[in-house]
Homo-oligomer: A and B are copies of this chain.
Amino acid sequence: MGELPHITLDRSSPVPLYFQVARQLERAIVDGSLAPGDRIMNEVELAARLGLSRPTMRQGMQLLVDKGLLVRKRGVGTQVVGPKIRRPFELTSLHDDLASSGQPQATTVLSCSVIQADEELSVELQVPVGDPVWSLERLRNVRDEPFALMHNFLPVDVVDLHGVDLATRGLYAVLREAGVQLRVANQRVGARRADAREARLLGERRGAPLLTMTRTAFDSAGRAVEYGDHVYRADRYTVELTLVDR
């Protein structure tokens, strides 16, 4: 029959039922109440016990299947894969990543001004050449050691960065508060040698290997909102991601 996860539903909550199911199932897996390899009670039975229709139950479980936490096999049942799979790579800024990891960090704003878009920016941000864009350069330290040199560009009508304290607040937090909803981003990760300036700022030797990341982020309307060109000390940073085959 399979394990019976403990799930309570609040039908007066604005949170969708399928999401309540998914959240509580996920917690049970992370808690260890549901161990890897456990078979979960079948969909029909589970839906009946919770007073849900089967499609709603399925929708909730599907979220966890998409995350790689559950595996369904036709004719067999649904099994817990395990909580060790990291979250699918989410759309977060480095600031968020570090803040949530509890590392002490500090950011120095090297420059923040409006420039005219050149050819490259015109392509990446989908604006005409010569259009005004914010150019923002920051150096980030973690545990008092230089870590990343970040160069961001944003069309000026996306957000006003005048007087914004970007040393304390992450760029993505500023964007969120300005009502910008980031939705998709294209990233390119590569490597190259540090030039003289990068080496000096990052406390490396010239020619040292750097991890590079460029990213264009789009809002929910499909508009290019931000283009970032960042370099990281290769000895202090790696990009981690989880791929899920559907």
User: A residues near B, CB below 8 A?
Assistant: 36-37, 55, 68, 71, 73, 79-82, 85-86, 89-91, 182-193, 207-211, 218, 220-222, 234-235, 237-245
Partner of A81, one of B89, B188, B218: B218
Cross-chain contact A192 with B209 (CB below 8 angstroms): yes
Nearest 9 Cβ contacts at the A-B interface: A191-B191, A209-B209, A191-B234, A81-B222, A190-B238, A91-B245, A68-B184, A189-B239, A191-B211
Partner of A245 from the list B36, B183, B238 (CB cut-off 8 Å) is B183
Report yes or no: B243 in contact with A91, Cβ–Cβ below 8 A.
yes
Residues of B within 8 A of A207 (CB): 207
Q: Provide the residues of chain B in CB contact with A73, threshold 8 Å.
A: 220
Contact A244 B183, beta carbon cutoff 8 Å:
yes
Q: How far is the CB of A237 from chain B (nearest CB, A)?
A: 7
